[in-house]
Amino acid sequence: MRSPSDWPDVAAMTDRPSGFAVEPAPLSGAPGVLVRGEVDMATAAELSAALDAAIRDTPGAFVVDLSETAFLDSSGLNALLRARARLGRAARALVIVCPPGQARRVFELAGIVDLLAPFDTRRQAAASLQPAR
Rounded Cα–Cα distance for residues 56 and 50 (Å): 10
Share of the chain above pLDDT 70, in %: 83
Contact 67, 35 (CB under 8 A): no
Contact 21, 36 (CB under 8 A): yes
- The residue extents of the domains of the chain are 6-126
Can you say how many angstroms the Cα of residue 119 is from the centroid of all Cα atoms in its chain?
A: 12
Instruction: Give helix 74-89 / helix 102-110 axis angle, nearest 10°.
Output: 70
- Overall CATH class of domain 6-126: alpha beta
Reduce the secondary structure of 65-86 to three states and give it as a string: EEEEEEEECHHHHHHHHHHHHH
pLDDT value at position 7?
A: 52
Rounded Cα–Cα distance for residues 127 and 73 (Å): 28
- pLDDT, tens digit (0-9, with 9 covering 90-100), for 4-43: 555 544 444 444 446 899 999 999 999 999 999 999 999 9
Helix then strand then coil, % of the chain, to nearest 5: 45, 25, 30
- pLDDT, tens digit (0-9, with 9 covering 90-100), for 80-93: 999 999 999 999 99
